[in-house]
Amino acid sequence: MKKSKIKTSNIIIIIFIVLIILVGVYLFIQYNKPDLNEFENNPSNSDNSTTENSDNVINPAPATKKVTIIDFAFMPKVLTIKPGDTVIWTNSDTFLHTVTSDSGTELNSKTLEVGQTYSYTFDTAGNFSYHCSIYPKIKAKIIVK
């Protein structure tokens, strides 16, 4: 009879320890996960400076916008910019990714390891859909207008 009680109490202790470890891992992941809202409406994603052209008309200076690759997604999924703006993609995921045009050759990054970046300056208006060539279901779009 004592042997079965010992086994049961050992099982309960093991389950309790596993639960504590799982909660710890979950909290660690949540604490270290970046705030995705930060990437969608971050004022640092744009540069509001202006320049004057020869007709003394104030035009926005080219801006640098950021796209983060995280959790198997491009964030933001749709980004609207102006001609002359540069977009910088940063791989913040734990897997390799690319930035590849759906049609055309505008976007054609090398394989980005964690922490690596790729940039492209959009000089013409249009819609530029792209994906990750390693994980083709990861898609996004740049709208230049």
Q: How much is the pLDDT for 44? A: 44
- Say which CATH number the domain at 49 has: 2.60.40.420
State whether 80 and 28 are in the same domain: no
Q: In the chain, what percentage of residues exceed pLDDT 90?
A: 55
Query: For residue range 3-34, what is the model confidence (pLDDT) as tens digits?
Result: 555 678 888 888 989 989 988 887 777 766 55
First CA to last CA across the chain, in angstroms? 78
3-state DSSP assignment of residue 14: helix
pLDDT score of 137 more than 70: yes
Q: Are residues 2 and 44 in the same domain?
A: no
Query: How many domains in the chain?
Result: 2
Domain that holds residue 6: 1-33
Sign of the alpha-carbon torsion through 36, 45, 133, 124: positive
Q: Do 15 and 71 fall into the same domain?
A: no
Which residues make beta-bridge pairs with 130? 101, 140
Same domain for 132 and 118: yes
* DSSP one-letter code for 137: T
Residues 42, 56 share a domain: yes
Q: For residue 41, give both structure tokens.
A: 């409406």
Same domain, 128 and 80: yes
13/63 same-domain check: no
Alpha helices (runs of H) in 33-75, residue ranges in sequence order = 36-40
pLDDT above 50 (res 38): no
User: Are the C-beta atoms of residues 47 and 64 closer than 8 Å to each other?
Assistant: yes
- Of the listed ranges 7-16, 30-39, 93-102, 108-117, the least confidently predicted one is 30-39
Same domain, 21 and 53: no
- Same domain membership, residue 40 and residue 29: no
Higher pLDDT, 57 or 134: 134
